[in-house]
Structure 1
Amino acid sequence: MAGLSPTGTLAIEAAQLEYRFIGPQPDVAPTLVLLHEGLGSAALWGEFPDRLAAMTGAGVFAYSRAGYGRSTPASLPRLPDYMHREALQVLPQVLDRIGFRRGLLVGHSDGASIAALYAGGVADHRIRGVSLIAPHFVVEDISVASIAAIRTTYETTELRAKLARWHDDVDNAFYGWNDAWLNPVFRAWDIADSLAYIRVPLQIVQGETDQYGTMRQIEIARSECYCPLEVELLAGAGHSPHREAADATLRLVAGFADRILNGHAEASDGRAA
């Protein structure tokens, strides 16, 4: 396609996917592709894409998957392999359509799982590194309990109205995600084996008080990964470090991107303030 405008839509399969783009075009500079959480959208990244572009000099591309934001509603119910489909069928088309040449995937929660599935399942030389914020590689009891609790919150409080500001079809967004995770069949979902096939540097940014996952996710990554792995723990942050500890998360992700894209990769496994 021609040069990316700051906002627009991509026709991917039967869906129109909204996007935001900040910074230089993919043929001029590397591109960081942002993959949102299970209740997220392009807009719900807030200022994170703009600040990330400013800190790295890279282009930053964020899009809403089908069922989210201003994109076409998704067909429900979602099947247990919906993240595999997003990673292996939809994301390759998105990257090709935007003229992606080189850069990183940056994913949060569901988006982090999708990024890991892509990096482990597609031999794409354009992907130079992957940054995962609060990723899921397996389903934990804490995940299911928190997702069940937010369903009650959604149905009994102002949460639905708040989310409706960000999604054209808020019930499609919420129940598409919530029903999938609460499906008993989904308890067997496990993408740990994908990690062994990732051949580029991998960063994990994890809030120490994440209500949707424990350090088991980190332990799985350390056990399965053969690629260079950086783990950054953020004290006082929960499941959304890019909102709850925005400055620290930006420094970590931007620093990782700079090292990878400028050839100064170095491993770390530490704790950030």
Structure 2
Amino acid sequence: MLAGGRRIETVWHGPGPDVAPTLVFLHDGIGCAATWRDFPAALAGETGCGALVYSRAGYGGSDPVALPRPLTYMHDEGFLGLPELLDAAGVRRAYLVGHSDGGSIALLHASTPRSLPRVRGLLLEAPHVFCEEVTVRSIEKARDDYLHGDLRGKLERHHGGNVDCAFWGWNRAWLDPGFLAWNIEDCLPAVTVPVLVVQGTDDPYGTLLQVDAIERRCGGTVRRLILEQCGHSPHREQRERTLSAMVAFVRGME
């Protein structure tokens, strides 16, 4: 699909946007459409919604981007890249399903007038609204694993020729000293649609302080699901509880 002048990798499941609401899946900082595996199809099947899964520019099978990424790359996607994609895909009613960076992008988009009335709710996994020390430490470890371990090979299976673009675009931005001041809490009062936040207690990339801030600052209702013995990817690590909570959230909106 072409959006904003770039070729964007997309995968569709279930009914089209002219028939039912669309679940729009926004991947994490080193993910892409493929790394969601079969979760989008399962959520679509349980809710009766369609599912649009996409790889942001620089990831998966989408067009590459120039490096380094600006420290505003999540703002850029939330304010411009995502709405361009939704327009190109003809999405009329949307639920944004965001993981990690994708959750932050979903919050940023939902804070803009352009998101309404199309966006009906947010389903977020391990989103970030500010930079924590634990996040930086884990991203430093990921850099070491990429340079000296097997992380690059694992990511290359999903990103192909985009693997260095995907990894370094994310890693260098988060490890830039200027990123320590990154904070989107001021955007949260403008998020008035209902929000579900799913967070693992053992997430190496963020703490429950992120959930607390979202619940405290968002302008609409916020529900939380805190999963014990769960890390950064609830849809993989505790699939059934995550799926059940998201299904109930969407059904309660329709």
Fold equivalence (TM over 0.5): yes
Which residue pairs with 2:44 in the alignment?
Answer: 53
1:1-273 map, 5 Å: 10-123=1-114, 124-168=116-160, 169-260=162-253, 262=254
In 2: Cα distance, 1:92 partner to 1:190 partner: 22
Query: What letter is aligned with 1:114?
Result: I
Query: What letter is aligned with 1:30?
Result: P
1:13: how far off?
A: 2.6
In 2: Cα distance, 1:201 partner to 1:194 partner: 15
In 2: Cα distance, 1:12 partner to 1:107 partner: 19
Q: Which runs of 5+ in 2 are unaligned?
A: none
- Aligned 8 A contact 1:115 1:130 in 2: yes
- Aligned 8 A contact 1:88 1:122 in 2: no
User: What's the secondary structure of 1:166's corresponding residue?
Assistant: helix
In 1: Cα distance, 2:64 partner to 2:92 partner: 29
Q: Which 10-residue stretch deviates more, 104-113 or 122-131? A: 122-131
In 2: Cα distance, 1:89 partner to 1:116 partner: 13
Number of residues paired by the alignment?
252
More helix per residue? 2
User: What's the secondary structure of 1:231's corresponding residue?
Assistant: strand
User: What's the secondary structure of 2:220's corresponding residue?
Assistant: coil
TM-score (normalised: structure 2) = 0.97
User: What's the secondary structure of 2:62's corresponding residue?
Assistant: coil
Residues 173-198 of structure 1: per-residue CA shift (max 9 Å, x gap) = 10010000000011111001111111
Residues 5-58 of structure 1: per-residue CA shift (max 9 Å, x gap) = xxxxx2123421101000001000111101000011011100101111111110
1:215: how far off?
A: 1.1
TM-score (normalised: structure 1) = 0.90
